[in-house]
Amino acid sequence: MGSPLRPALLSCALVLCAPPAPARATLTGEPPIVIGHRGASGYRPEHTLAAYELAIDQGADYIEPDLVSTADGVLVARHENNLAGTTDVDSHPEFAARHATKMIDGASVQGWFTEDFTLAELKTLRAVERIPAVRPGNAAYDGQFEIPTFDEILDLVAAKELETGRSIGVYPETKHPTYFDSIGLSLEEPLLASLAAAGRSGAGSLVFIQSFETANLKELALSTELPLVQLLGGGQPYDFVVDGDPRTYADLRTPAGLAEIATYAAGIGPDKELIVSRAGGAIVGPSSLVADAHAAGLLVHPYTFRAESVFHPLDFPNDPVAEIALYLGFGIDGFFTDNPDVGVTAVPEPGQGLTTLLGLAGIVALGRRRV
């Protein structure tokens, strides 16, 4: 990555122009993990085998498939069950009649939906780039890749482990679990079955299971030793909406809420903006979230770090390494990124002090290269 000097690391926006405070340690003292968000989705259409393989080749510790169900109960990787924005389904006249309007997590959504297609039918579609205006290079791959099943992703990881000699983790997310339960296509049972068939059901299997909902994680906690991660965003978990529970994600990230999460999960996955405090729009330091979560015994894996300038806060114009470095200094235990190569560059070698990383612009020969 880029220049050996990173002036943004010394920016007043980072830590109030004061000398950098000592960097916080991760919960376990282990180096933070780099999670390939939907694969290397900054370089290939998301949730394709090509994106996952590139993420692994770039050194990601884990790859993240979002999982939804087909009509015949097969888990496939899509960020949403709506196929409209990430496949060429609209160019298939044989499926025109399946265009529908559905209520998904309380919102009216139009499109074509995975649960209305068998796996064989989905395999006739091809992936397209979701945000071509931002990632025109990815759009060059439109039409080249199938929608992968979760089993195919696990097979890829196993093959890459043999090829590289590295241990590679898998970080699946169940999408719309209450909705899929309501139509008789529960996600959790086939998820655990696939992991067991792949030999990834034990506590040390390099698997995290994540969800924005809470009820399915609580149920999973009764049936698996695998660590679970409660995602945190804005608004409410949809299962709270269905149950009439007035609490919000803001309630879940209080010390009391984190203590409850710790009864069923090993970590939280918050929006990265929940980890910083701002004044006048600029980052001035950490919020209490990482410290509070660590006090509850929870790992912290924020989302999502991206390389394109359109996604950067004003604090870090065109310097994604500096942005990640700041968060590492706050003690996060890992992070989701669309650009695993950037993430690997930002993570220091084991034993290299993050205080030095944050305080000295001259040290950016970091690259904890795992490839």
E-strand stretches of the chain: 33-37, 62-64, 66-69, 75-77, 100-104, 107-111, 169-170, 173-174, 209-211, 228-232, 267-270, 276-279, 282-286, 299-300, 334-337
What confidence score (pLDDT) does residue 280 get? Answer: 85
What confidence score (pLDDT) does residue 318 get? Answer: 86
Helix runs in the chain, H state only: 12-15, 49-57, 119-122, 136-139, 150-164, 177-182, 188-197, 215-221, 238-243, 249-252, 255-261, 289-295, 320-329, 340-346, 354-359
> Into how many domains does the chain fold?
1
User: Distance between CA 221 and CA 204 in Å, rounded?
Assistant: 15
Asked whether residue 275 is assigned to any structural domain, the reply reads yes
What confidence score (pLDDT) does residue 22 get? Answer: 56
Q: In the 8-state DSSP scheme, what is residue 23?
A: P
Q: Which residues of the chain have pLDDT under 70?
A: 1-22, 350-371
What confidence score (pLDDT) does residue 312 get? Answer: 82
Asked whether residue 152 is assigned to any structural domain, the reply reads yes
> Residue 82 pairs with which residues in a beta bridge?
113
Note down the domain range covering 310.
7-70+148-359
Q: What are phi and psi of 143, to 5 degrees?
A: 85, 0
Asked whether residue 207 is assigned to any structural domain, the reply reads yes
What confidence score (pLDDT) does residue 206 get? Answer: 97
Asked whether residue 87 is assigned to any structural domain, the reply reads no
Q: Is the pTM of this model over 0.75?
A: yes
Asked whether residue 61 is assigned to any structural domain, the reply reads yes
CA atoms within 13 A on the CB side of 217: 27
Asked whether residue 158 is assigned to any structural domain, the reply reads yes
- Is 37 marked active-site? yes
User: Distance between CA 8 and CA 327 in Å, rounded?
Assistant: 13
What confidence score (pLDDT) does residue 351 get? Answer: 44
Kindly state the tokens that stand for 267: 């970590």
What confidence score (pLDDT) does residue 350 get? Answer: 57
Asked whether residue 311 is assigned to any structural domain, the reply reads yes
Catalytic residue among 47, 79, 294, 301: 79
- Is 301 marked active-site? no
Asked whether residue 204 is assigned to any structural domain, the reply reads yes
CA atoms within 13 A on the CB side of 23: 26
What CATH number corresponds to the domain at position 332?
Answer: 3.20.20.190
